[in-house]
Each structure stands twice: as C-alpha cells, then as structure tokens.
Structure 1
Amino acid sequence: MKNLTVKIFAGLFAVAAVLLASCNKDDESYSFLLNERGAFVEEPGGKTSVGFTAVNIVSVTPTTVPQGWSVTVDMNERRIFVTAPTTFPEESAKADTEEKNENVRFGTVIMTGRSGGGASVSMSLYVSLAELIDLTDQPSNCYVLNKSNVRYCIDVTRKGEDTEATIAPASVAILWETPYKVVEYPKLIDGKAYFYHAVGTDDKKKEFFNHGNALLGAFDAAGNLLWSWHLWCAEFDPAGEQIELGGEVMMKRNLGAGVVSGTSEADILASYGVYYQWGRKDPFVGPRYYNMADAADAQIYDSQNLRVYPDYAATDAERGTLAYAGAHAMTFLTGTKESGYNWLQKADASLWGAVKNNNDPCPRGWKVPSREVFAKLSIKDAVTPELEKSYGFTLTDGTNEAFFPAGGRRSFLTGALTNMNDNEVRPTPWTGYYWSSTGEGKEAYAMDFSFDINGTRAGSSFQGAALQYAAGGMQVRCVKIR
C-alpha cells in the first residue's frame, strides 16, 4: 500500500507539473496551485476560504462563478474567499416577486492566475452549500452514507469500534471508489477525516442519489497504510429496512448493495454489494457487468480520480498475516495448498466471531451472522421462467422471508469473479455465497445456493452452513447486535 500511496502523490505532482507550471517568453517560470479543490459552507450566505500557492503570478481572478455565489481573492494572504447565496429557487418561489431566482447550491468556480508576462493558468474549485454530518462519536469499520450533497466527518484515530486501539495518521486518501467521484475531497484535520458525498447527475444534468462504495485510507508520514474504512453510499436507513430471519434481525440488502433486488441489469448488479475474504474487514469490488462477463472487475478510482486496480497475490510467509492484510487493503490474498487455501499462513478462526470485533466489516450496531442463522433457512421459490430473471432466491425460516441475490464469489485460487455456468443457450449466473462469522480450523462456514438450469426446484442446491476456503471472496448480510 505504501507503493500505491507513492504513486498517488507522484501522479499528483506530475499532473501539477504539467498543467500548472510553464515558462513565458522570457523563460520565467510560474505556477498556481490550490491547496484544496473543494470549498463547503453549511448555511445560506455562509463563508469559507481556500489557500493557494503562486510563483510569479501577479493576479488570481475568478473567471467562472456559479449563479449566486461570490468569490474574491486576497493576493497578500494567498487566500480565496467564497460566499454562498442567501436564497435559492425553492425559497424565493414563496416570495411575491417577479424576478426568477436561479441561484445554485453547488457548482464549479474557475480560478485563473496570470503571470507578469501575460501567460495564464486555470484551476477549478468546487463549491457547495452542504450539510455537515459528524459521525466521530460512532466509530466503525463501515459507515452508511445515505444523504447526498453532504459533507461527512469521521474519527480516523480509532480502529473500528475499539476505544483503545488508536493511530495518529498524517494524511487520508480514497484508496478506491466506484462509481467515479462517488466520494470526493478527503481532508484530515486534527485526527478527523472530512469527505463529500456528491449528488449524481446524468447527461441531461438531472440529479439522482449517487449509489456506490469507497474505501478511505489513513496513512503515516512515510505513506504506510494504518487503517481503512468502508464508505457505503446507499439511500436507505438500516434500522428501517430490516426483517427477523433465522432468529436474528437481518438487513434486507447485502453489505455494500445499492438496492435490495432487481430485474433490470443495473439493479441486478447493484444488488450484489461487495465481497470479503473471511476474517478481513476491507471489501473488494464486485463485477463490472451483471452477468460477470469476462470476469471483469468494476472500474475503480482513487482520490485523484485516476483508475486504480486491485492486486492479487498468493499468500506466503510475508503476506499471510493480519498485519500485512490491513496494510494492503487492496490486495486479494489467494490461498495455496500449503495454507489450506486460507489467505493466512497461520489460520485464526476467531477473526470474526459471535461477539463483534475490530475485524468485522458491518456498520456500527451490526455484525456478520453466525452459521446457526443461515442453517435455519431454506429455499422458498419454485423455479419458474420469471424466477430466472431475478438472479437469486427468496429464503425463508418458515415464518419470514428475504431475497438473496446470487452474486457468485471471488476464487480462492485466483481472486477472479466466478458465477457463470457453461450453458451456451442460457448462461444464467445463479450461485450465491454468504459468509457466516463462524470459523473452524483453516476454513469457515458459509451459506451457498445454486440454480438448477433444468428448471426443477429439487435440482437446485442449498447449504445453510458448509465449510468453505477462507481465501474465497463472498458476500455478507449483516444482522443486528442484540
């Protein structure tokens, strides 16, 4: 992960060097660089400021400003001052006025710096009227971000929900996120990480909630990853979307999923969520396509909005430890025959457990269920042509029921996403794997089911609790902590 961080900073400086520095006809060098790329205020009419550095720049001026915003520059202080509009269309519509209010809540300011020789260089500054949601009193490995155009704040001196395991990060950054720019502008202030969950917009500038996932990392001064947090962007309240199943209160959707279920390709894909190796707290991204074509991973991006890729490496004496896994959150550690196809060299069946610990990937107040929960379930559905389109099964405990998408898994040998059967006519991706918190020896228990393409319920398989190789990447369905 240290190498990844170095690449991030190297890429940033390279871009800065190319885009922000040049020479005029007298061979005088100049540069203009914003200290931050986002400026946020919490109330209408609110103010904030952003610093900048400038070399041989005689003036900095805003050349494009969103409607209603005010932007001024102090060259002596090297600061840009931003003021939000005081009113917006929905407020002004109530007033008795003929003047139409077109002020906007967020947009992009273009700042242009000019050198003494007449050359210019421009930078973009995103501005937004955004509520701040402070989650620093709710430490966790996973946070549900269910509001957009909101700036969040979490405590990054804490490991998971532990009150004693603390760290002192020097910086924070997005390790990966999907889709593009689902979380932006990470910033570290006094042990707190601030970041922005943006509003999604389509080609016609229509706004929508930006579903997705991100992994935020905290680094020491040398660029080593100290800890990381899953940011789950989904428009739902876990407390309001739950069901009693298998003797526990369970979420209706998979960990990291944007929707509960779906029949469209987009919704089927969004229902899968993210994938975990047993005992690890950090998620791995799902497929790019709903049918797992070419076993392609979803495209992921870093803090600089550059494409990044997960790593795949076989476990060995160096890599096969919990410490290595935590410091390399984007490395999928494949199993070997010698390790018993566990990502650890020395298996630890207590990494997840009956009591939630710092390795558990679920949000605060939730945990990975024990094997006993899944063992109480069975397939409710009879196989029909309509059921084939749902890409999953409804499971029941005899009283209540919930839908479970068949999102396949990541191979314990290669890390590749697998789900497709070999039928050329009807290649239905219909296998589901869900980790429990129960480990045993080098393996761990999981629930798995598969769809029988011959169309008989009796031919479909279901195992509520079967031992699986711990290096495999599977989905998680969280249950509420009692």
Structure 2
Amino acid sequence: MKKSFLALTLSVLALGIAVSCQKENKEGIKPLELSSGETANCYIVSAEGKYSFPAVKGNSTESPGQISTAEVLWESFGNKVQPNAGDLISNVRYEDGKIIFNASAKKGNAVIAAKDAAGTILWSWHIWMTDKPEEQVYNNNAGIMMDRNLGATSATPEDISSYGLMYQWGRKDPFRGADDLTTKWEWNSSVIATTAQWPEALVSNKTTGTVEYSIAHPMTFIMENSHNSDWFYTDDYVTENTRWQAEKTIYDPCPPGWRVPDGGPFGVWAKAFGSTKAYIDSDGGWDTGDSGVDLSKTDVTLATGKTVWYPHEGLIYSNSSKLSGVSMM
C-alpha cells in the first residue's frame, strides 16, 4: 500500500492538470499604513490594496471624539462616468484607533467620514487615488510644488483628469469640480459624477458659518451673506487668514509632506517670478481651448525646463454655489 500510494502521488505531481482559483481572503492581510509618521486630511493611494491611517485630526495626534463607525461619503472618477459604491474603496471600518479600507486599482477620489454613536460626523479624510505626483522645483528658491492640483488624477495638459477638486478657503474637505473642459462661461457648469446625493448649499449664519459646522457637514457648501464675503460668519480676519497658513494646520487639505502654498506678494509665485507680483504680465502658453496655461512657454517662467501647466478650473460662486468659468480666461 505504501508503494502504491507513493506511486500515485508522484503520478499526480507529474501530470498537467486543470486548476481553479478561489478568491483571496484579504481580511487577514495587514493593511499598509498611509501616515508614515505624519498625519493629514488627505492620503494618496497609488495601488490596489488594503490601507489604514490614524483616526485623528489631520496634521495632529488629536482624536476627533468618540468614534463609533466609519463610512464612505462619496466616490468619483473625476469625470462624467457614474461610479458605483465600492468602485474605488470598500470594506471601510474603524478599528483600534485606525480607519481601515480596501482600495481598487482605479483612479479617482473619495471621502471617508468617522461618526459617533448618534451618527454625527466627527472628522473626514480625502482619499486621493492617483499615480504619485511629481515634484517641480520653482525658480529663485520659491519652493517645491506638485505637478497637479489636489484631486487631479493626471498631470497631462488639456485632460479633464488634470482638473481636480474645489475647496472653500480654510476648509479641509473637497467639493466637486467640472466634468468637462468645454463648458466655458456657463453659469451652472456640470460637475463630476459621484456616488452621493449632495445637500443644498446653505447661507452662512451664526450656526452654519462656523468651523464646527463645516467639519460636521463636509459636503455642504456654505455661501456668503450680507454680513461679509466669507463662508466664515465672524468678522475675525486673523482667524480667516490662519486656517491655511505657512505652518500647516489641522484644516490643511494637503497630503503628508505637503501644504497649501503661500500667496500674495511674498508667496511662491511672486518669489519664482523674482518680484512682488503674484500674477503674470505675459502672453503665450495658453492652450487652444483655454483649458489651461503652460507657464514654461511664457517669457516669465516658474520652473526652468519643466512643463508647469495650470488648469482653468473655474470657480464656485460664494453667493450661489454655482460652478462657472471653466476653461475660460
């Protein structure tokens, strides 16, 4: 019996046989940590896999509160294509002080929220699914910039995937950008498709125009009112100007290692131009369809020998919440 059994085993090993496959159980795989020693409100994911990050306020170690659950608020490919829930990220959960999720190989953007037992959003994080952005060294020691805007899944000029997302000054959470390069000066340009139904915009007041309200309602665009020209209701200009600043704050929307750049006469552009002007006095570099401008093709360059393309993404009007001015100068 022993010899027969051995002969049978060797025969099977030598044969060419058909093989079927079982779905791999990834729940037992240890998630890849995204924070790398530095927390943020946005994390870049460039490959399919299982990931985690500390459930803390971005750029800090501070807990947002008693977290009960974690869930996806919305997902988007950044264009007109309607995604299904789970196309980008799935199996989201809160466990041992971390947010854990599975990411697909697709490009796009998603936002994950942590909620308390009552369902109130305590904090939220942007998951930016793109290839790793390249660094561009700006002239005159002005600084190092990304080759794309936040939320863009490409750095290719004249491509809708290079447009990215929109933000209100001082808020960490993104809003939808344009889904088309050719909308021009439409008062209500179409926006990217997402998995969620977005709430109506609200006018700023003593309740809605606060940082606390904006954190608990990351998808609600807060419009200005007659009181001032800001979503932030209080006339505290010091607070208004320090929500995003040179020293990265807990409201900065950039991923680890990056921050919102300085602007104005002493900002990145002004330094790169070698002046106190944060705007261009130059022709050239404009795309045929006005979808953006390549500043490496003007006589006033930001970075020598590099394509420095800035898209014309338009803007969301603070008194209407309508997206307008896409691909328009």
Q: Same fold (TM over 0.5)?
A: yes
Question: What is the one-letter code of the residue matched to 1:367?
Answer: R
Say if 1:103 and 1:159 are closer, same or farther in 2 by CA, change over 3 A. Answer: same
- Cα deviation for residue 105 of structure 1 reads 5.6
Question: What is the one-letter code of the residue matched to 2:243?
Answer: L
Alignment of 1:235 with 2:124, yes or no, is no
Of 151, 164, 177, which aligns to 2:50? 151
Of 206, 214, 226, which aligns to 2:122? 226
- Cα deviation for residue 414 of structure 1 reads 1.3
Cα pair 2:64 2:122 within 8 Å, conserved = no
Alignment of 1:191 with 2:93, yes or no, is no
Cα pair 1:311 1:330 within 8 Å, conserved = no
For 1:478, the equivalent position in structure 2 comes to none
Question: What is the one-letter code of the residue matched to 1:393?
Answer: V
Q: How does 1:329-344 map to 2 (within 5 A)?
A: 329-339=218-228, 341-344=229-232
Cα pair 1:186 1:193 within 8 Å, conserved = yes
Alignment of 1:169 with 2:58, yes or no, is no
Gaps of 5+ in 2: 1-12, 78-82, 274-279, 296-300
Q: How does 1:310-389 map to 2 (within 5 A)?
A: 310-339=199-228, 341-346=229-234, 347=236, 348=239, 349-371=241-263, 372-375=267-270, 376-377=272-273, 378=280, 382=284, 387-389=287-289
For 1:289, the equivalent position in structure 2 comes to 180
Question: Structure 2 length as normaliser, TM-score?
Answer: 0.78
Question: What is the one-letter code of the residue matched to 1:244?
Answer: V
Within 1, Cα distance between the matches of 2:281 and 2:104? Answer: 39
Cα pair 1:352 1:360 within 8 Å, conserved = yes
Alignment of 1:255 with 2:145, yes or no, is no
Alignment of 1:403 with 2:309, yes or no, is yes
Say if 1:220 and 1:370 are closer, same or farther in 2 by CA, change over 3 A. Answer: same
Rg larger in structure: 1
For 1:132, the equivalent position in structure 2 comes to 31
- Cα deviation for residue 259 of structure 1 reads 0.1
Say if 1:337 and 1:97 are closer, same or farther in 2 by CA, change over 3 A. Answer: farther
Cα pair 2:93 2:99 within 8 Å, conserved = yes
Alignment of 1:103 with 2:27, yes or no, is no
Say if 1:379 and 1:253 are closer, same or farther in 2 by CA, change over 3 A. Answer: farther
State the identity %.
29
Cα pair 2:64 2:123 within 8 Å, conserved = no
Cα pair 1:262 1:390 within 8 Å, conserved = no
Cα pair 1:216 1:231 within 8 Å, conserved = yes
| CA deviation vs aligned residue, 1:316-350 (integer Å, no higher than 9, x gap) | 111111111111100000112322x2001114221
**Count of matched residue pairs:** 283
Say if 1:100 and 1:291 are closer, same or farther in 2 by CA, change over 3 A. Answer: farther
- Cα deviation for residue 167 of structure 1 reads 2.6
Gaps of 5+ in 1: 1-94, 107-125, 200-209, 302-306, 421-428, 431-449, 451-482
Q: Give 1 or 2: higher strand fraction.
A: 1
Cα pair 1:380 1:393 within 8 Å, conserved = no
Alignment of 1:245 with 2:143, yes or no, is no
For 1:416, the equivalent position in structure 2 comes to 322
Question: What is the one-letter code of the residue matched to 2:124?
Answer: S
- Cα deviation for residue 297 of structure 1 reads 2.2
Cα pair 1:381 1:393 within 8 Å, conserved = no
